[in-house]
Amino acid sequence: MTPISSADLEALLNEAQHQSLSLGEISARSQRLALTPADLLNTLSIEVARRFVLNEISYDIGDAIMNGLMTAIIDLSLETQMPQPAFDIYRAFDDGEHLHRGDMNQPLPCERYTRSQLLGIVREFCAGLNKTVL
């Protein structure tokens, strides 16, 4: 996956945290960065997952960012394949939004479901790159 500058990364994550980004906005940014929209969405999503797993961002911030990327993820899947792991990362955050049948209050759903799923996704991604981030 093509790296993007930390300035571009931070700007896009900040925008997604505060508003929903359309596929048009993602496509324009990805073109400027010489990436496909899927690569940009995956890059952003993996960074959100990595930061959450390493406790660099809270669940609420990660969830807000992934909700901000969701429209573009879904709209892209209507044109081509579902961007992965972006969609799985979104679903992991979605699983942490509520108690599941039979759950007690502890651990919180974001710890029970989201963190464990994201840990697996980030490890798998990093293994594919022969990289260690965790």
Q: 28-42: per-residue pLDDT in tens?
A: 999 999 999 999 999
Q: How much is the pLDDT for 113?
A: 75
Query: Residue for token digits 């997604």?
Result: 16
Phi, psi angle pair for 81, to nearest 5°? -70, 155
Does the pLDDT of residue 1 top 80, yes or no? no
Does the pLDDT of residue 87 top 70, yes or no? yes
Please count the CA atoms within 13 angstroms of the CA of 92 that sit on its side-chain side.
Answer: 28
Burial of 6 (0-12, 13-18, 19+ CB in 10 A): exposed
Query: Residue for token digits 């579902």?
Result: 82
Q: Provide the domain count of the chain.
A: 1
Domain that holds residue 37: 6-128
Q: How much is the pLDDT for 105?
A: 63
For residue 87, is it within any domain? Answer: yes
Q: How much is the pLDDT for 123?
A: 86
For residue 133, is it within any domain? Answer: no
For residue 33, is it within any domain? Answer: yes
